[in-house]
């Protein structure tokens, strides 16, 4: 087993400082991600962070690594292509509940079904923050928002239950107010071979006045501090339904099965970016011209 050499945290500081609202939960997620990759000794050149659109999706610009800021709801699709282009990279996707569980939910489902070796960090603030406070797929029924002035009439999506039934092989939930715990969940998710979802309670201090830091602090408890074992899918589904005065955070489920990359013949000879195309310059130019 290779020796892991922890790297300095400052190595991952991005070229610009975050411009999120003071107190935004996304600060805690950024810090936890930086701490996780530092602990794992992952050099910036071996890390790719992909995002869609939203407050949380600005995160790649605040981290020293390869980054790609894509289209709304398309981060997982873009990350899939990048991972298959160079499957030796550690690929982390960062986004929000609107980006991932709303417009991007179709990519979410199929990435889990395929068990792609990706780590998906969803900053779940239960609101659309960037567009100033509309109800999102995880907004609680009855909550007042800009788009639901008489209370949200819909039941919220349960991302953990969805991930469990769609084939994710690592399913966890963190809270940006519990830094050490969240760092550990992210590090384990990156190390895991297969699709890892880490849904993070990341309070929006500007537009969500219900799901606040104090609200979560009074309710969350860590599964790791109980006798819970994250190996039983049925038990994990039951635990994912727990909501109210007590809300679990931690690792809900982990299993092992072949990844999509394991079964793709084109990747057996190494990353595609290092494989020869087998074309002469003239053949390559002619092929490009067909698409011009």
What is the mean predicted confidence (pLDDT) over 71-81?
A: 95
**pLDDT of amino acid 78:** 96
Of 132, 137, 123, 111, which is closest to residue 58 (Cα–Cα)?
123
Provide the 10 A C-beta neighbour count for residue 105: 17
Strand order in the sheet with 119-124: 66-69, 47-51, 90-96, 119-124, 196-201, 170-175, 247-254, 220-222
What is the mean predicted confidence (pLDDT) over 173-199?
A: 98
Q: How confident is the model at residue 284 (pLDDT cuts 50, 70, 90)?
A: confident
Percent of the chain topping pLDDT 90: 87
**pLDDT of amino acid 278:** 82
Asked whether residue 273 carries a pLDDT value surpassing 90, the answer given is no
Q: CA–CA separation, 230 vs 237, rounded Å? A: 11
Place of tokens 């991302």: 159
- The per-type count for the chain, helices as H runs and strands as E runs, is 9, 8
- Give me the phi and psi of 82, to 5 degrees please: -70, -40
In contact, 37 and 11? CB cutoff 8 Å = no
Of 3.40.50.970, 3.40.630.40, 3.40.50.620, 3.40.109.10, the CATH number of 9-289 is 3.40.50.970
Q: CA–CA separation, 141 vs 169, rounded Å? A: 29
Q: Which residue has the higher pLDDT, 130 or 196?
A: 196
Asked whether residue 153 carries a pLDDT value surpassing 90, the answer given is yes
Sequence-distant contacts of 16-19: CB under 8 A, at least 24 apart = 16/61, 16/62, 17/62, 18/58, 18/62, 19/58
- The model's pTM is 0.93
Per-residue pLDDT tens for 233-265?
999 999 999 999 999 999 999 999 999 999 999
Q: How confident is the model at residue 2 (pLDDT cuts 50, 70, 90)?
A: low
Q: CA–CA separation, 158 vs 122, rounded Å? A: 13
Asked whether residue 188 carries a pLDDT value surpassing 60, the answer given is yes
* Residues facing residue 173 across a β-bridge: 199, 250
What is the mean predicted confidence (pLDDT) over 166-173?
A: 98
Q: How confident is the model at residue 183 (pLDDT cuts 50, 70, 90)?
A: very high
Q: Where are the alpha helices (DSSP H) in the chain?
A: 26-40, 75-85, 97-98, 105-114, 159-166, 179-191, 213-217, 233-240, 281-289
**pLDDT of amino acid 85:** 94
Asked whether residue 53 carries a pLDDT value surpassing 70, the answer given is yes
What is the mean predicted confidence (pLDDT) over 188-207?
A: 97
Q: How confident is the model at residue 225 (pLDDT cuts 50, 70, 90)?
A: very high
Helix 105-114 / helix 159-166 crossing angle, nearest 10 deg? 40
Q: How confident is the model at residue 170 (pLDDT cuts 50, 70, 90)?
A: very high
**pLDDT of amino acid 4:** 79
Domain limits, the chain: 9-289
Mean pLDDT of the chain: 94
**pLDDT of amino acid 25:** 96
- Give me the phi and psi of 199, to 5 degrees please: -85, 125
Percent of the chain topping pLDDT 70: 99
In contact, 37 and 55? CB cutoff 8 Å = no
**pLDDT of amino acid 1:** 52
In contact, 104 and 95? CB cutoff 8 Å = yes
């Amino acid at each position: 087993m290779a020796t892991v050499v922890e790297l300095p945290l400052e190595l991952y500081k991005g070229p610009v400082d975050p411009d999120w609202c003071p107190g935004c939960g996304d600060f805690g997620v950024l810090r936890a991600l930086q701490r996780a990759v530092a602990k794992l000794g992952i050099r910036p050149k071996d890390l790719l962070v992909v995002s869609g659109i939203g407050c949380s999706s600005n995160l790649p610009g605040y981290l020293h690594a390869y980054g790609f800021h894509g289209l709304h709801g398309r981060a997982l699709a873009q990350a899939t292509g990048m991972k298959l282009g160079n499957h030796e990279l550690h690929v982390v996707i960062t986004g929000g509940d609107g980006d991932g569980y709303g417009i991007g939910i179709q990519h979410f489902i199929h990435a889990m079904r395929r068990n792609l070796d990706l780590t998906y960090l969803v900053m779940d603030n239960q609101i659309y923050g960037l567009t100033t406070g509309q109800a999102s797929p995880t907004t609680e029924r009855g909550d007042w928002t800009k788009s639901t002035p008489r209370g949200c009439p819909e039941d919220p999506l349960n991302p953990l239950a969805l991930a469990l039934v769609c084939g994710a092989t690592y399913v966890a939930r963190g809270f940006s107010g519990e830094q050490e715990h969240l760092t550990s969940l992210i590090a384990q998710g990156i190390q895991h071979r297969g699709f890892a979802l880490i849904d993070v309670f990341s309070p929006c201090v500007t537009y969500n006045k219900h799901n606040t830091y104090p609200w979560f602090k009074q309710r969350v408890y860590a599964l790791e501090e109980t006798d819970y074992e994250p190996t039983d899918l049925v038990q994990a589904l039951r635990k994912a339904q727990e909501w109210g005065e007590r809300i679990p955070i931690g690792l809900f489920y982990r299993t092992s099965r072949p990844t999509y990359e394991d079964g793709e013949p084109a990747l057996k000879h190494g990353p595609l970016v290092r494989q020869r195309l087998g074309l002469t310059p003239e053949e390559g130019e002619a092929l490009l011209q067909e698409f011009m």
